[in-house]
């Protein structure tokens, strides 16, 4: 069966070829009735946009490669939705790949993106990614930006991690806690470094010792550590993210200790489940969907103005007080 082409749509709609092309891109310069007539003609004929032909004509695929380091994490799932929404609005399709924190898999996916080719790459670097990777992408002449995790230079969007854990730690200090530990952050990357630094500096300003309880972002790993905490353990936990905090609350409950009453717990991210957890989680809100939208903007700017200085959008966090920190109990006392 012969493929329906755009010239067939133009003939069916009774318009010029250029008009049909503009109408199928929903160009606002055309009258609504013209765009509607062309779309209806395309539907009748079963026309499908030929992206490979468009690539040959313009040199652009209108596709962006998105590399996610941990797609099963609720935070990254929401962030991905924000990226896709913003890119779709700008007329780009998203080609998604999950690296599962593997630098080797990340390399393979980047090479496949280059082969496609994509018009740009948005990267959440896997733990252990060498900074030299950015130089390689520049040598490939692929517009790129990092999101959440990044390097000292280059286009980037993400939360202010230091400010976030500073807010959480200062809140717990204000509630009277003096033995506060940082739970999680076992992996060494820009996010774990920033979050530990915000916590540790706040403890140092208060004249208190910082304590690190490293673990992965796996809920079970965090639960095991929290469950095994001895009675003379810290009275509060600043957790690396909400997943770690979820695990901490489960572990405390298994040990017969009530989060908020016996040990205060804070998270980081404010994923959707945080408000409905038991007890509802005090956390740092960084709006992952908004971060995803900001990352798309930063990348689009890089694609449209490659010679301009790269944009960096650092989004401010906010403390969301719920029950897991015990603030309500302490006020009642």
- In order of their start, the domains of the chain are 6-49 (1.10.260.40), 62-158+288-315 (3.40.50.2300), 161-287+319-332 (3.40.50.2300)
Average pLDDT over residues 96-110: 94
Label residue 330 by pLDDT band (50, 70, 90). Answer: low
Contacts of residues 187-191 at CB distance under 8 Å and 24 or more positions apart, as own/partner, are 187/101, 187/127, 187/216, 187/217, 188/127, 188/128, 189/125, 189/127, 189/128, 189/149, 190/149, 190/150, 190/151, 190/161, 191/148, 191/149, 191/158, 191/161
Least confident range from 59-73, 178-192, 229-243: namely 59-73
- The CB density around residue 2, as the number of other CB atoms within 10 Å, is 5
In this predicted structure, what is the pLDDT of residue 18? 87
Q: What gap in Å lies between CA 322 and CA 282, rounded to an integer? A: 5
What is the per-residue pLDDT for 125? Answer: 94
> What is the distance between the alpha carbons of residues 195 and 197, in angstroms, rounded to a whole number?
5
Band (pLDDT 50/70/90 cuts) for residue 332 is: very low
- Rounded CA separation 218/220 (Å): 5
Which has more confidence, 174 or 22?
A: 174
Mean of per-residue pLDDT scores for the chain = 91
Angle at 198 between CA 221 and CA 245, to 5 degrees: 25
Confidence of residue 62 (pLDDT cuts 50, 70, 90): confident
Q: Which two tokens stand for residue 85?
A: 């929404």
Neighbours of 273 (CB within 10 A): 12
pLDDT digit string, tens, across residues 198-209: 999 999 999 999
Tell me if 19 sits within 8 A of 30, measured CB to CB.
yes
The pLDDT value recorded for residue 7 is 87
Checking if the pLDDT of 333 tops 50, the result is: no
The reported pLDDT for the residue numbered 56 is: 45
Average pLDDT over every residue of 225-233: 93
């Amino acid at each position: 069966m012969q493929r329906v082409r755009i010239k067939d749509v133009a003939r069916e709609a009774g318009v010029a070829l250029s008009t049909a092309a503009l109408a199928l891109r929903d160009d606002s310069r055309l009258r609504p009735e013209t765009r509607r007539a062309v779309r209806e003609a395309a539907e009748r004929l079963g026309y499908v946009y030929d992206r490979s032909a468009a690539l040959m004509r313009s040199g652009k695929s209108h596709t962006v490669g998105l590399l996610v380091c941990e797609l099963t994490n609720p935070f990254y799932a929401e962030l991905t939705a924000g990226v896709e929404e913003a890119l779709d609005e700008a007329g780009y399709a998203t080609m998604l790949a999950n690296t599962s924190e593997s630098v080797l898999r990340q390399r393979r996916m980047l090479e496949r993106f280059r082969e496609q080719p994509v018009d740009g790459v948005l990267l959440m670097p896997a733990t252990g990614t060498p900074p030299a990777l950015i130089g390689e992408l520049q040598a490939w002449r692929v517009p790129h930006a990092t999101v959440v995790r990044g390097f000292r230079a280059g286009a980037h969007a993400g939360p202010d991690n230091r400010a976030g854990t500073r807010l959480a730690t200062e809140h717990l200090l204000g509630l009277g806690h003096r033995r506060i530990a940082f739970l999680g952050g076992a992996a060494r990357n820009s996010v774990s470094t920033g979050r530990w630094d915000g916590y540790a500096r706040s403890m140092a300003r208060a004249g208190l010792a910082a304590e690190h309880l490293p673990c992965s972002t796996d809920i079970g790993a965090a639960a095991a550590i929290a469950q095994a905490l001895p009675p003379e353990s810290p009275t509060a936990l600043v957790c690396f993210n909400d997943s770690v905090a979820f695990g901490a609350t489960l572990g405390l409950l298994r040990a017969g200790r009530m989060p908020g009453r016996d040990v205060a717990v804070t998270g980081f991210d404010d994923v959707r489940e945080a408000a409905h957890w038991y007890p509802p989680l005090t956390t740092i809100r960084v709006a992952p969907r908004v971060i995803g939208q900001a990352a798309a903007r930063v990348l689009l700017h890089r694609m449209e103005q490659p010679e301009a200085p790269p944009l960096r959008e650092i989004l401010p966090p906010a403390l969301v007080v719920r029950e897991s920190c015990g603030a309500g109990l302490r006020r009642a006392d």
